[in-house]
């Protein structure tokens, strides 16, 4: 029998994160800093909105683009929070998670052979998405010495005549690095001069600890060539609801809608009702979660520094990214031994790209008690090396 799998699917590796967690699941007493997921339940008012929608019998498809009220609210949110106008009728598209938003955006723009610049360390779905579209991912380093930000020089170095788009994610998974509006302004000329499309995954932009969040679309010359990817999973602790969105110039939004129509029809209806409540009335719960993540961030980063691991202070998202270089172990070796010997699961940074080498992604969205125990065990592990 021949191999029925396409060449493209054979080319992409399985998720390095999952592989690790299969091992962890078979062990007892494991504290996991591995999965990138908020540990809160979805706020009750948000759950109630979905329950109420089901009780009312709103169980059919919505319009392909999503409920009008939700698109209005998303447009209002982008305006109020970032000062950017998106027409809710034809520039906002509701998707099944930011994951679908990313997938259809990549498929909307990539022709076979196109190069897509991927700011790394990067969320693991980017390169696979580009490869599945026949594109070629090209890493652009955002190293620790730049506080994991993307700089114009780094970007310039990787641009070729085949470059079509730049995919970036700030606040960043896995590094916690953020870009200010000035940082986006600094790369704007390079993006415009080389006629690139910017795909900006801003799913963590409500989880920032030092000042206001920023959006790439705040920069005027970027607005017309930027696709904003966002969603509700992180800000409102709604990972299981599978609800996200795209804000993009009309031409791109309409093209993405064509793919969405065929592959998804519409995002889950009850989740759309929940999302309306989240964006309208989820602020208090969100603020409370961010306050708590901030305490855990400080606790964890200080713990890592005490343990002798260099660790930059992440300004956003829910991850710390300590360096294990001083231990002489690679990130893979460190993570494997830490799991086997101390029952702490973390993710080796190198799976997110070369700039992640010698780092560990540690998600601190777990209880403070578990976090303290995790710090103690990591400290013990480092001392015993």
Separation of CA 268 from chain center: 21
Q: Which of residues 137-156 bind ligand PMP (CB under 6 A)?
A: none
Q: Which of residues 190-229 bind ligand PMP (CB under 6 A)?
A: 201, 203
What are the tokens at 28? 């007892």
Which lies closer to ligand PMP via its Cβ, residue 206 or residue 375? Answer: 206
The minimum distance between CB 173 and ligand PMP, in angstroms, equals: 4
The minimum distance between CB 175 and ligand PMP, in angstroms, equals: 11
CA dihedral 269, 275, 276, 282 (to 10 degrees): 160
Q: What residues have CB less than 8 Å from 277, skipping those under 6 apart?
A: 45, 46, 48, 49
d(CA 116, CA 135): 7
> Using the rule CB under 6 A, which residue among 17, 32, 34, 36 binds ligand PMP?
36
The minimum distance between CB 138 and ligand PMP, in angstroms, equals: 19
Angle between helices 16-25 and 331-342 (to 10 degrees): 20
The minimum distance between CB 376 and ligand PMP, in angstroms, equals: 27
Distances (CA, A) of 182 to 129, 186, 221, 336: 29, 6, 13, 39
Please spell the DSSP secondary structure of 219-256, one letter per residue.
Answer: SHHHHTTEEEEEESTTTTT-GGG--EEEE--HHHHHHH
- For 92, the enclosing helix (H) or strand (E) is strand 92-95
> Using the rule CB under 6 A, which residue among 20, 123, 236, 381 binds ligand PMP?
123
The minimum distance between CB 328 and ligand PMP, in angstroms, equals: 30
Q: Which of residues 87-116 bind ligand PMP (CB under 6 A)?
A: 97-99
* Tokens 């710390």 found at: 320
The minimum distance between CB 201 and ligand PMP, in angstroms, equals: 5
Residue nearest to ligand PMP (CB): 97
Q: What residues have CB less than 8 Å from 125, skipping those under 6 apart?
A: 99, 102, 103
Q: Which of residues 153-182 bind ligand PMP (CB under 6 A)?
A: 169, 173
Collapsing DSSP to helix, strand or coil, 303 comes out as helix
Per-residue contact track with ligand PMP, 260 to 299, x per CB under 6 A? ----------------------------------------
> Using the rule CB under 6 A, which residue among 66, 88, 213, 231 binds ligand PMP?
231
> Using the rule CB under 6 A, which residue among 239, 294, 330, 373 binds ligand PMP?
239
Tell me which DSSP letter residue 88 carries: T
Which lies closer to ligand PMP via its Cβ, residue 65 or residue 329? Answer: 65
The minimum distance between CB 165 and ligand PMP, in angstroms, equals: 16
Residues within the interface to ligand PMP (CB under 6 A): 36, 97-99, 123, 169, 173, 201, 203, 231, 233, 239, 244
């Amino acid at each position: 029998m021949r191999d029925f799998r396409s060449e493209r699917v054979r080319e992409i590796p399985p998720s390095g994160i999952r592989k690790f967690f299969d091992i962890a699941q078979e062990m007892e007493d494991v504290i996991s800093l591995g999965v990138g997921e908020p540990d809160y339940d979805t706020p009750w008012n948000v759950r109630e909105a979905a329950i109420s929608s089901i009780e009312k019998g709103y169980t059919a498809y919505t319009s392909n683009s999503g409920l009008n009220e939700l698109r209005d609210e998303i447009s209002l949110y982008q305006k109020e929070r970032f000062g950017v106008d998106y027409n809710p009728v034809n520039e906002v598209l509701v998707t099944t998670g930011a994951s679908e938003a990313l997938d259809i955006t990549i498929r909307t723009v990539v022709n076979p052979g196109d190069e897509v610049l991927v700011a790394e360390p990067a969320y693991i779905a980017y390169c696979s998405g580009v490869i599945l579209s026949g594109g070629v991912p090209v890493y652009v380093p955002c190293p620790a010495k730049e506080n994991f930000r993307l700089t114009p020089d780094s970007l310039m170095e990787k641009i070729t005549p085949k470059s079509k788009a730049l995919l970036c994610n700030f606040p960043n998974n896995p590094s916690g690095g953020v870009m200010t509006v000035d940082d986006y302004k600094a790369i704007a000329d390079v993006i415009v001069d080389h006629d690139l499309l910017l795909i900006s995954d801003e799913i963590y932009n409500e989880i920032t600890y030092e000042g206001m969040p920023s959006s790439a679309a705040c920069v005027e010359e970027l607005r017309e060539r930027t696709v904003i990817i966002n969603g509700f999973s992180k800000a409102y602790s709604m990972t299981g609801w599978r609800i996200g969105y795209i804000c993009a110039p009309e031409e791109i939004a309409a093209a993405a809608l064509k793919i969405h129509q065929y592959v998804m029809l519409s995002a889950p209806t009850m989740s759309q009702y929940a999302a309306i409540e989240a964006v309208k009335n989820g602020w208090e719960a969100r603020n409370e979660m961010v306050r708590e993540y901030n305490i855990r961030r400080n606790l964890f980063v200080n713990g890592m520094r005490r343990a002798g691991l260099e660790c930059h202070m992440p300004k956003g998202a829910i991850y710390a990214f300590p360096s294990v270089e001083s231990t002489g172990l690679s990130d893979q070796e460190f993570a494997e031994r830490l799991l086997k010997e101390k029952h702490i699961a973390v993710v080796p940074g190198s799976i997110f790209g070369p700039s992640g080498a010698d780092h560990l992604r540690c998600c601190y969205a777990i209880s403070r008690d578990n976090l303290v125990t995790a710090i103690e065990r990591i400290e013990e592990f480092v001392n015993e090396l």
